[in-house]
Amino acid sequence: MTLVAGVDSSTQSTKVLVVDADSGEVVREGRAAHPDGTECPPSAWWSAFLEASDGLLEGVEALSVGGQQHGMVLVDESGDVVRPALLWNDTRSAADSLDLIGEFGGAQQWADAVGSVPVASFTVTKLRWMARHEPDALQRAAMVMLPHDWVTWQLTGGSCFDATTDRGDASSTGYWSPITGTYRHDVLALAAGRELGVPRVAAPSDLVGHTSAGIAVGPGTGDNPAAALGVSAEVGDVVISLGTSGTAFAVSETPAHDASGEVAGFADATGRFLPLVCTLNAARVLTATAQLLGVNFDQFSDLALTAPAGAGGLTLVPYLDGERTPNLPDATGTLVGMTRDNMTPQCLARAAVEGMLCGLADAVDALKAQGVVPRRFLLVGGAAASPAVQLVAASLFGGEVTVPEPGEYVALGAARQAAWILRGGTEPPRWNASSTGIVTATQAPQVRARYAEVTDALR
C-alpha cells in the first residue's frame, strides 16, 4: 500500500489524514487545536501539526497542506515572523478595503484585474491596514505569505526565498490574477506602499521539496480548493460547505469577474477555476441557537423538523459575526416576525436553519449569474450531518442535494494532491466518493421571498 498524507491547517485546528494513494481510504488520522481568535502566531500551527502528526507519518511518501485562505503572514529577511498572522475572519480592514476599491478605479477594475473585489477578509486589505496602523512592522517584512504557504515552507525547511504557494490559494490574496496567472505587483504595492516578496506559484502537481524525513511535499492549496479536490467535484458541481463560515463554490472552466463583489473569482487546485461566495455565519448560527435553547445538536435538528416551513412567520437574519456576503462587517443578527404563536423552540430552531441556508441559496443564485449551471449540490461540513439542514437545503437550492459521507474533505483533498505528485499525469487520481444519499424536498420559495423582504428592509 502506498501512503500519502493530507494536512488541513484550518482556523480552529490542524487535522492530518494518512490515506491509501490508490483508493483514497483513510488509514489513520490525528488532530490538534489552534488558539481561538482573529490573530494567531504561526508557530501555533506548526506545534499543532507536530502534535497531530505524531506517530502518523511512518511509511508516508508524499504530503500536501490545505490551509485557511486569505490570512497574512509577514516574515523578515531571516524568515522570522514579524507579527502574529491576521486571519481571514479579522475584519478590522473593512474601511481599508473600501479605500483600495476607490484608489484602484472602482469595483469593475478590481474584478477585471484579479477576478475579485476585495473585502476585509482578503490579504490585500490587511496589508493596507498594516501600512496605516503598524508601518514599522510592515517595513521589517521581506515577504508576505498565506498560512498554508508558511506551513509548507516549514515542512521543506527552505529559506523564505524558496517559499511556494499554488494558484488556488494565491487567488484569494487580491494581488494574484487567476485570469492571467500572474501576480499584480502594482496592486500589492498600492496596498502596502512598497514592494514585498511573494512565494513562487507552483503548478498543481509540482513537487516543491522534501521534509527532513524525505517525504515529498506538494504545493498545497487553500481550504476551499482542497475541499473541491476532496469531494472529487467536477464542472457543474456546486459545493455547499457548512463550517465556521459558509461557502458555495463551483468548479468552472472559465474565470469569474463579478463587479458586485458577491462572487470571488478564485482558481482551483487543478488548473480550472472556482467561483466562490463566502458567508461568515454558518454552523455557529446553529450551535449558538442550540445553546440558547439548551439542547444538543441532534435535539436541535429534531426541533427544527417539527416546525413548518417558514417557521410560522419567524425569520432570522443570522449576521451574528458581521457578514461578508453581503459585505456588512459591522452588522448584527436580527429576529423578525415574532408572535406569541411562533415564539417556540421549534420555530426558533427552524428559523435558524432557514436563515443560514437562505444566505447560501442567495450565494447559489450569484454563482448562476456568473454562468455556473448547477449539475448537483454537494452538502459538506459539520452542519451537513443534520437532517434538518439537509431537508431545508433541498427545499431552497432548487435541486436535489447529495450528502457525501462525513469526512475531513480539506485534508482528504490535500492527500489527493499528494497522490497526484507521486502518480503524475494531467489530472489528480480518481477516488470513489461515497455519499449518505440524495435528499429531495418540496420547494419552499415563500421562505426565500420572506427572507429577501426582511434583509432588503434592513439594508
Q: Which active-site residues does the annotation give?
A: 223
Here the cell at position 295 is 439542547
Residue 125 to residue 275: CA distance in whole angstroms: 20
Beta bridge mates, 19: 4, 26
Q: At what angle do helices 345-369 and 297-306 cross, to 10 degrees?
A: 90
Q: What share of the chain is helix, strand, coil (3-state, %, to 5)?
A: 35, 25, 40
DSSP string, 387-455: HHHHHHHHHHSSS-EEEEPS--HHHHHHHHHHHHHHH-SSSPPP-PPPEEEEE-----HHHHHHHHHHH
Residue 37 to residue 32: CA distance in whole angstroms: 16
Grouping H, G, I as helix, E, B as strand and the rest as coil, residue 216 is: strand
DSSP string, 360-384: HHHHHHHHHHTT---SEEEEESGGG
The amino acid present at 365, given as its one-letter code, is D
Residue 223 to residue 237: CA distance in whole angstroms: 17
Rounded-to-10 torsion of CA 171, 177, 180, 183: -100
Grouping H, G, I as helix, E, B as strand and the rest as coil, residue 267 is: strand
